[in-house]
Amino acid sequence: MPTKISKYTFTKIHFVCVFWMVAGFFFLLKCLFPNIAGKQLEEVKEYIEAKITTNHHHPVDSISRNMAHVDSLFFAPRADLMLVDAAGNPIKNEIPRFRSIELDTIFPDINDVQLVTAERLGIPECDDRQAAAAMKDKLVYIGDSPYYDLENLTYSIPYLVPRASVLLEEISRSFFDSLAVKGIPFHKLIVTSVLRTNKDVKGLRRHNGNASENSCHRFGTTFDIAYNSYHRVQDPDDSEQPQEYAYTLKSVLAEVLNDQRLRGTCYVKYERRQYCFHITCR
């Protein structure tokens, strides 16, 4: 016997009637006030643009827009590394060759270019190590990574702002991937300089006249990677293996950095006298 439907039961017919009543109301509202939807869309657009930047004291500009672009790249899943083709044959990519004069052209981002972004994205400059320690909640320790090694730091300390730390790891992992697809044994990159206090900068300038007084390293956004030395990853169960030629590894590193720079994740300057790539996150 069919169940008796109460007069208060909300049936499918009622739902359809209510839907069309609401739709009709908004259609009438749009006819009477044609600009209302446009204003709402503008408000939504302004809200999204305001959220793009992490610093609400700055307007939405090229730096904050590029930050959003970089975030979308770094939060995306990493592509699977293809070491063999469909037939199971090893894939061995060509090893690039770069001359120093080419690297000057490929990586032209001088300190002044990097400085604007470093000041915007980094911490306030610190007078000494004690002041830097007070900023630890805004910094990431980078001294323990399987992807790169740190040189014995004298005039800097192993801390970066989070986005610079992510960039350094991304570069180092991409370097490993590139070595793998080229059939080159694994070598770790060597980071030679990280966060510097004002006191560190003064001390460095006493020994190195080429060091900039207005250094990007003061903001925790910048690091240097050596291009003339690397650490071969050794098999603990095997005899010590020789290192690959530094020139070959330098070319692979340059290829990785050029790819990152073209993606908009960083600024890069090729430092001839310092034997390093000077890199600032974006």
pLDDT in tens, 3-24: 444 444 556 566 556 656 766 6
DSSP 158: S
Question: What is the pLDDT at residue 41?
Answer: 44
Percent of the chain at pLDDT > 70 equals 79
Note the residue count of the chain: 282
Determine whether 113 is exposed, middle or buried from the number of CB atoms within 10 Å of its CB (0-12, 13-18, 19+): middle
DSSP 157: B
- Cα separation, 18 vs 99, whole angstroms: 72
- Per-residue pLDDT, averaged over 265-270, amounts to 98
- Cα separation, 190 vs 177, whole angstroms: 16
pLDDT in tens, 123-146: 999 999 999 999 999 999 999 999
pTM for the whole structure: 0.75
Query: Which domains can be identified in the chain, with CATH numbers?
Result: 1-77 (no CATH), 79-281 (3.30.1380)
